[in-house]
Structure 1
């Protein structure tokens, strides 16, 4: 649809854009990325004919741009820029109607029924119908941008060029605009060529991306190129970390400032514990890097509140997350900064174990019940068991883990829990085989992120073995307390 052959041009010598070769396919959402001054807007002006081409050619739908009249260009292409100035004080409807000019015939260029229908449609699409008689100058920046988008869509172009079109929009209207354009692209085979500053927005909407660097194309590809942190560093000269979007197969970028946050702390004095019959609350002075499968706070996050709430063994709620949020709020604990778990175990039987293993301070908090103990390899079907049987583990470590080491740490802690169950001969009542856990186990690892980064925390590492030792001892002790209570003091190992 758009093809650039050795394109050069711009305001300066040597030219701002130099020798570009690029092809944009019909019906795709193509995004041009690069810092200010890299030549993005210059390239758009060369494509639309606003600037003269020094060398090379631009082809639009197989036709050389130089051979097209202004009307022919306007039928093929519409442009939406970050500027929203209009020279005359038109109403919204009058401005949108200007988009029909390339399609009007005759001397007087009167609007036809089709023109009016298109104008009505695009004003509805952009949510500006209620402003039709409003003078353009009285509108906010975001409203003006939606009017100009409607004008561009009224042209019924095959190609839509967007030069930073979302600069005046708030988050809600950014997504509304780009969602609209994405649907238009897919439903009408519209080709969208956009300049965007926001790399995360570009990742969400683009089919392909090009990096423009010092007037040249550095790389072209699908949004996966945003995972290339070295290329991002080269283009933007800042540290950017690429991470996966939580619900879409798209990368998202995290900016890393040059300044560093001081995380020096005395581990033993860095937290407070409150224990009641209703809940256990461990609060740290600073946020910890966490990995958890808690009801609240699951995944990898930065959190500072860690809660284990007691529930009845008959507790059966369809909204456990909402319940926990309510209970935390009641006790002035911010749910958005917390991991939350539940247990039917009596909280007075919780085990708190703080140790320093091979110079690494750790603290484990474990509550354990084994009424729901299962052998995960058992193929027998199990019904719902209403009994006390959850092992909840909090483990806090004064160390600096990579994300991979966090996963290693979870594996090491799980292995230790299984070993405790094995040594205590806890069995799955259905298969009579040694249990590997309970049906509702939960675990949390929290790291202070102090010191040198550790890439591994498996069983072959010092820290991994330390995790295994403290979790094994705390879990074994907590299970013994539970069994002692269940058997009214008559249980013996």
Structure 2
């Protein structure tokens, strides 16, 4: 659809764009990304024909852009910029009708039935028909951009050029406009060339992206290019972390500001407060910990300050654990979003707490253990329901700096230690009489201070993994021992 060969151009004696080669396929949504001053707008003006090239050529469907008449360009290319300025006091319908000007015939350029049908379709899609007779100047910024999008779509272009069209819109209006555009692209096989400054928005909407720096097109590819953290950091001169969107298979970018610094040291005796009662064990850290958790609340990977293990009645039905946990946290004025919440039917006085330094890794583990419902997960299909409440809850805290991958490693190391403790203590599945591997309701949390050298692994062959394995094993052995002793009393 759009082919750019060895394109160079700029202003006066200053060349901004240097030898750019790019092919955009028909029906593709292509987004150009780069920092301010990288040449995005200059390349946009070259493609739109408002700036003549110094060298190279631009082809649209095999036709050189500079050989196309103004009418043919208007029938082929539509432009939607970030500005919503209109000099005359036109109504919304009059502005959208301008999109059909290049298709009108006759001396007086009247609208045909076909023109009116296209205009109505564009207004319907963009939800602007309600403003049909309103003066354009009376609309909000988001409404104006929808009107201008309707005008562009009314042109029925083969190629739509977007220059940061959502720059002055709030989140709702920006996503609404891009959703409309994406729908039209799919329905009409529209080719889109867009400049978007927001990397995350570009990742969500683009089929392909390009990165430009100092007037040179560095690379093009799928939105997965935005997972290349080092490349993005070099281009934007800011620390970048890429993660996956929770719903779409697209990357999302996190920027780390320069003021983000961590304290130089951490002490489990000073920088955390531990409150214990018959109802709850509550740990409150002075600074949030990077945490991976399978708790009732605070699950997944996130930053957590509060860690709670609540005692519940042995006959607790567990029908709505998240609702119950939220209510308990609200009662204590603890933020649900930054609190790991667990629950157990065992006496909290039987919890095991171990602080230790292993291979220069400072670690603290708090464990509660009820094994009345211990299960061998490999034979779980032979069980029917729960015989009684039983839960192994383990909280692991390290003064360490883990990647997300290391947090996952840490969960594996702790789970291996749990299984080993159950095996050595001879804890058996009452239904199958085989060695148990856990209980159906176990919870585990790993929290790290994110101080010190970055650690990419926490498996059994690493100092962190060894620390986790040995201390989790000892804490669970102690906690299970307390539980069994109480059962014998």
Q: TM-score, normalised by structure 2?
A: 0.95
1:360 aligns with 2:361: yes
Match of 1:87 in 2: 87
How far residue 452 of structure 1 moved from its aligned partner, in angstroms, is 2.5
3-state secondary structure, aligned to 1:94: helix
Q: Within 5 Å, which residues of 2 pair with 1:214-253?
A: 214-253=214-253
How far residue 47 of structure 1 moved from its aligned partner, in angstroms, is 1.6
Q: After the TM superposition, which parts of structure 1 deviate over 6 Å for at least 4 consecutive aligned residues?
A: none
1:203-255, CA deviations, whole angstroms, 9 ceiling, x for partnerless residues? Answer: 11111111112212111111121122232133222221222222322111111
Match of 2:152 in 1: 152
1:440-474, CA deviations, whole angstroms, 9 ceiling, x for partnerless residues? Answer: 21100111122223333222233322222221121
When residues 162 and 385 of structure 1 are mapped into structure 2, their CA distance, relative to the original with a 3 A threshold, is same
1:311 aligns with 2:312: yes
When residues 117 and 317 of structure 1 are mapped into structure 2, their CA distance, relative to the original with a 3 A threshold, is farther
3-state secondary structure, aligned to 1:147: helix
How far residue 343 of structure 1 moved from its aligned partner, in angstroms, is 2.1
When residues 123 and 314 of structure 1 are mapped into structure 2, their CA distance, relative to the original with a 3 A threshold, is farther
Match of 2:347 in 1: 346
3-state secondary structure, aligned to 2:78: strand
3-state secondary structure, aligned to 1:481: helix
How far residue 148 of structure 1 moved from its aligned partner, in angstroms, is 0.9
3-state secondary structure, aligned to 1:52: coil
Q: Within 5 Å, which residues of 2 pair with 1:270-349?
A: 270-349=271-350
Using the alignment, how far apart are the partners of 1:179 and 1:316 within structure 2?
44
- Which stretch shifts more, 178-187 or 78-87? 178-187
How far residue 410 of structure 1 moved from its aligned partner, in angstroms, is 1.6
3-state secondary structure, aligned to 2:197: coil
Using the alignment, how far apart are the partners of 1:344 and 1:367 within structure 2?
9
Using the alignment, how far apart are the partners of 1:43 and 1:328 within structure 2?
54
3-state secondary structure, aligned to 1:261: coil
Match of 2:34 in 1: 34
Q: How many residues align?
A: 488
Using the alignment, how far apart are the partners of 1:258 and 1:371 within structure 2?
51
Using the alignment, how far apart are the partners of 2:13 and 2:387 within structure 1?
79
When residues 168 and 225 of structure 1 are mapped into structure 2, their CA distance, relative to the original with a 3 A threshold, is same
1:120-143, CA deviations, whole angstroms, 9 ceiling, x for partnerless residues? Answer: 332232233332222222222222
CA contact (8 A) 1:3 1:23 kept: yes
1:475 aligns with 2:467: no
1:239-284, CA deviations, whole angstroms, 9 ceiling, x for partnerless residues? Answer: 2122222232211111122334232333211112223333322111
CA contact (8 A) 2:268 2:364 kept: no
1:330-376, CA deviations, whole angstroms, 9 ceiling, x for partnerless residues? Answer: 21010111112222223333223333334433222211111221112
1:66-115, CA deviations, whole angstroms, 9 ceiling, x for partnerless residues? Answer: 22111111111111001111111112222112112122221222223332
1:184 aligns with 2:190: no
CA contact (8 A) 2:82 2:167 kept: yes
1:370 aligns with 2:371: yes
RMSD across aligned positions (CA)? 1.9
- Which stretch shifts more, 429-438 or 303-312? 303-312
3-state secondary structure, aligned to 1:240: strand
Long gaps (5+) in structure 1: none
Using the alignment, how far apart are the partners of 1:122 and 1:334 within structure 2?
46
Using the alignment, how far apart are the partners of 1:228 and 1:451 within structure 2?
24
How far residue 287 of structure 1 moved from its aligned partner, in angstroms, is 0.4
CA contact (8 A) 1:204 1:250 kept: yes
CA contact (8 A) 1:223 1:251 kept: yes
CA contact (8 A) 1:313 1:386 kept: no
Using the alignment, how far apart are the partners of 1:353 and 1:90 within structure 2?
75
CA contact (8 A) 2:266 2:399 kept: no
3-state secondary structure, aligned to 1:268: coil
Match of 1:119 in 2: 119
When residues 341 and 71 of structure 1 are mapped into structure 2, their CA distance, relative to the original with a 3 A threshold, is same
Match of 2:202 in 1: 202
3-state secondary structure, aligned to 2:36: coil
Using the alignment, how far apart are the partners of 1:69 and 1:118 within structure 2?
23
- Which stretch shifts more, 440-449 or 411-420? 411-420
CA contact (8 A) 2:361 2:463 kept: no
Match of 1:102 in 2: 102
1:2 aligns with 2:11: no
Match of 1:457 in 2: 458
- Which stretch shifts more, 232-241 or 382-391? 232-241
CA contact (8 A) 1:281 1:307 kept: yes
1:378-431, CA deviations, whole angstroms, 9 ceiling, x for partnerless residues? Answer: 264221115121101011112222323222222221122112111211001222
- Which stretch shifts more, 426-435 or 275-284? 275-284
CA contact (8 A) 1:8 1:55 kept: yes
How far residue 14 of structure 1 moved from its aligned partner, in angstroms, is 4.1
Q: TM-score, normalised by structure 1?
A: 0.94
